[in-house]
Chains A and B, each alone.
Chain A
Amino acid sequence: MFGSIDPLLLLASLMVAATPIVFAAIGELVVERAGVLNLGVEGMMITGAVCGFIVAVQTGSPLLGFAGAAVGGAALSLLFAALTQYLLSNQVATGLALTLFGLGLASLLGQGWVGIRAPSVPDLPLGPLRDIPVLGPVLFRHDPMVYLGLLVCLGVWWFLNRTRGGLILRAVGDNHDAAHALGYRVVRVRVLAILFGGAMAGLGGAYLSLVRVPTWTDGITAGAGWIALAIVVFASWRPGRLVIGAYLFGGVAQLQLNLQAAGVRVPVEILSMSPYIATILVLVLLSAGRAPGCLGRSFHAAR
């Protein structure tokens, strides 16, 4: 009964399915390591999705589309940064509001763009690598964004663990009072982290509207932002585990779609649940980390 599922195709589509989550989650990871809990990932993703789609269709260039998506996501996150870092609003409430606002805004912007097909994104020409048996189709026949996502994760790991900027960011997230006492600009570090998180969420959203679907429909993110948030926590705020978590989720999501198509006699609802359950189970078993010390706490120099 599994005969109709091609394992190579499954593995290849796994990388594609995981990419939006990789982008959104790595952005949120940086935000949370700086001590900020931004629950607005879903809203920033879908804003990025619609901005990227509009720019790409207007200009005919997917590259400009992705740039527009990053700008759109970052712009929405700037709202969050202003509210939480300067006006000291509650981060949880503001993040939830940002998600609702982003969903509404995207729906508004997207009116009139439904049903149009996005300009296609060509695969990265990797030359002879494409023709390696088995590995070629699985690993080397994807669009550039798949690889960019992995590069960003590697870069974030390197930044956090090997650079002074990353050390300062972790210090701000662990103990903002101490960082302030040593003369670091807590608010500035956090605003920059929030902007990065917004831009990455925007890229993740645009990957859905430009590559994965590739067209604009309302509610296109369908909870991917929430999955990204959960993966950050269960990955213990470590980039390596985050990639594992996102790929696992993408893999099970693809598998259950294929199983549905193959007509397996398991209720569709249970199959649809399976990626979420599998991801949470595995990451809970792996998780060992400690949350950043100041996660979700507002910073004010006088307190």
Chain B
Amino acid sequence: MTEPLLRLSGLTKAYPGVVANRGVSFDIRPGEIHALLGENGAGKSTLVKTIYGLVKPDEGRMAWRGAPFAPGKPSDARAAGVAMVFQHFSLFDALDVAENVALGMENPPPMGELAARIREVSDTYGLPLDPGRIVGDLSAGERQRVEIVRCLLQDPRLLIMDEPTSVLTPQEVEILFETLRKLRSEGTSILYISHKLEEIRALCEHATILRLGEVVATCDPREASAREMAEMMVGSALHRPARAAKAPGEVVLQLDGLTAASPRPFGTALKDVSVEVRAGEVLGIGGVAGNGQDELLLALSGEMRTAAEMVRLKGAPVGRLGPTARRRLGLLCAPEERNGHASAPDMSLTENALLTGGVRKGMIRKGFLDWGKARGFAEEVIRGFDVRTPGPGAAARSLSGGNLQKFVIGREILQAPQVLVVNQPTWGVDAAAAAAIRQALLDLAAGGAAVIVVSQDLDELMEISDRFAALNGGALSAPVPTGGLTVHRIGLMLGGAHDMEVAHVEA
């Protein structure tokens, strides 16, 4: 067996109140694609930040080709040959591609020469890029290419990829995997972080599984099943949402030629979106981030007004009504971004319960607030959805992602909506909480409400929706029944592999 490229021995890092890594040890061999698996909060990010020199471990050592390795800052790690593609946070929207690449290099060549090298490397690896484009105008897939090309220009020995596929279509994922396999064949090691098990099975030959900061298992992902790995990650058997077959009822929500410009810079306009949703059905809407999901949510919630008859609730035009009026009629929305859009992070759970539940639960009378009722409602949500919190007086910010998400979804469900629209209901939520949220959405639909789930997680949509439609460039495809859909077919509905011409995404 060859000497490992990087050996981690007993790495421990504690933050106030939480141990992020506890005695983590494993080897990365030259030329292997090594998966690092774990739930959100398992300590994956802290671990790779340690390798990249952004975090200093409290205990433990690292060895790089046998020699001690303790990078004090990212440039030390880069000098040794470590390169990292970040999940988010590492591109500059206002700068162009070449400038972004230059910022990730120790000694960038002059801009003209750099642009030529970017073209050369991006062609070699099948990642077309124009060095002069402003990054804010690029699609998510193109933005990732910028990050990868930035790494490749430094001839890395070890490439760290943190959740690289969360923003890509299946076709783009396939292109990325080809690039990674090519790199492996050239002798580059790759540390691949993900919680998408099928991808890891397709790509990696070795997997280390983290749970609560500790290595709990290692396996060969080509031999283990996705279910086995998932249970190693979670530490318990997974509960699969169950659904009752039921004939759909009458049409409750109708979008008719919904067309609207985006209110945000770098946003996507909605183009002639038409769809009907029936009582008792779950409509899944998929799409790569930034293809109009946010705008569709704004148009449905009433934060963005449209022509009245573009949005109809039980036949009545509501396109010109604001969020509160729509809530009164039974059209409820739970937006993405639980910290900031779906909740006010610094306010208590009681206050947050009142903010959306006030109208339907009778907590506001003649302009005065009924705090007793609001607290009662918050407690009802906390009990009904197993939200782990000291009580309704806790600030929304203090809850973990999964718990706050259960709260903001539960808050809407308990208001007995006619139509519930949710965006990314389980993004960044641990598997157990995600299963509970999906089950609650299915139960709501079984009770006769119409549910629209907007998500980038295709597995989730396949699991819970009756019909599936794709958003691509602000246009919605015709919905098709979920049964019998293949990944390839979905990929084509999402717009296939985005190339340079399709550029309209803010990630």
Contact surface of A with B, Cβ cutoff 8 Å = 164, 167-168, 170-171, 174-175, 177-179, 181-184, 290, 292-293
Contacts and interface: CB of A to CB of B under 8 A. Distances in A.
B104 A167 contact: no
Nearest to A291: B94
Interface in B72-104: 73-75, 78, 86, 89-95, 99, 102-104
A177 B49 CA distance: 14
B268 to A, nearest CB: 18
A26 B53 CA distance: 36
Contacts of B78: 183
B203 interface: no
Interface in B284-327: none
A67 B78 CA distance: 41
Contact of A182 (B90, B93, B94, B99): B90
Contact of B102 (A167, A178, A183, A290): A167
B102 A170 contact: no
B54 interface: yes
A289 to B, nearest CB: 10
Nearest to B103: A171
Given A170-B94, A292-B94, A293-B94, A178 B53 contact: no
A2 B93 CA distance: 51
A167 B94 contact: no
A183 B73 contact: yes
Contacts of A181: 54, 74, 86, 89-90
Nearest to B49: A181
A134 B94 CA distance: 43
Interface in B44-83: 53-54, 73-75, 78
Ranked 9 nearest A-B pairs via Cβ: A183-B74, A178-B90, A174-B92, A177-B89, A174-B94, A181-B90, A178-B89, A171-B92, A183-B73
A293 B93 contact: yes
Given A174-B95, A182-B74, A183-B53, A167 B90 contact: no
A182 B103 contact: yes
A293 B78 CA distance: 26
B93 A174 contact: yes
Nearest to A178: B90
B187 interface: no
A170 B73 CA distance: 21
Q: Max chain B CB contacts within 10 Å: which of A164, A167, A293?
A: A167
Contacts of B89: 175, 177-178, 181
Given A181-B54, A181-B86, A290-B265, A164 B93 contact: no
B128 interface: no
Q: Is the interface of B mostly helix, strand, loop or mixed?
A: loop
Contact of A171 (B53, B54, B95, B108): B95
B317 to A, nearest CB: 36
B92 A178 contact: yes
Interface residues of B, number: 20
B93 A175 contact: yes
A170 to B, nearest CB: 7
Contacts of A177: 89
A179 B53 CA distance: 14
A171 B89 CA distance: 12
14 contacts: A167-B99, A167-B102, A167-B103, A168-B103, A171-B92, A175-B89, A178-B91, A179-B103, A182-B74, A182-B103, A183-B74, A183-B78, A293-B92, A293-B94
B94 A290 contact: yes
A293 B94 CA distance: 8
Contacts of B92: 170-171, 174-175, 178-179, 293
Contacts of B93: 174-175, 293
Contacts of A178: 86, 89-92
Nearest to A183: B74
A179 B95 CA distance: 12
B102 A175 contact: no
Interface string B256-268: 0000000001000
A291 to B, nearest CB: 9
Contacts of A290: 94, 265
A170 B90 CA distance: 14
Contacts of A164: 102, 108
A182 B94 CA distance: 16
A175 B92 CA distance: 6
Contacts of B74: 181-183
Contacts of B103: 167-168, 171, 179, 182, 184
Nearest to B92: A174
A217 to B, nearest CB: 42
A221 to B, nearest CB: 32
A162 to B, nearest CB: 9
Contacts of A171: 92, 95, 99, 103
Contacts of B99: 167, 171
Given A181-B86, A181-B89, A292-B94, 8 more contacts: A167-B99, A170-B95, A175-B91, A175-B92, A175-B93, A183-B53, A290-B94, A293-B94
A126 B108 CA distance: 41
A168 B104 CA distance: 10
A170 B91 CA distance: 12
Interface in B259-283: 265
A183 B75 contact: yes
Contacts of A174: 92-95
A292 B93 CA distance: 10
Q: Max chain A CB contacts within 10 Å: which of B53, B93, B94?
A: B94
B243 to A, nearest CB: 40
Q: Max chain B CB contacts within 10 Å: which of A171, A183, A293?
A: A183
Interface string B93-123: 1110001001110001000000000000000
Contacts of B104: 182
A295 B104 CA distance: 22
A300 B436 CA distance: 34
A174 B89 CA distance: 11
B465 to A, nearest CB: 34
Nearest to B78: A183
A177 to B, nearest CB: 4
Interface in B324-348: none
Contacts of A292: 94
Contacts of B53: 183
A169 to B, nearest CB: 11
A178 B99 CA distance: 13
Q: Max chain A CB contacts within 10 Å: which of B53, B92, B93, B265?
A: B92
A283 B207 CA distance: 58
A292 B102 CA distance: 19
B45 to A, nearest CB: 11
B162 to A, nearest CB: 10
B434 to A, nearest CB: 25
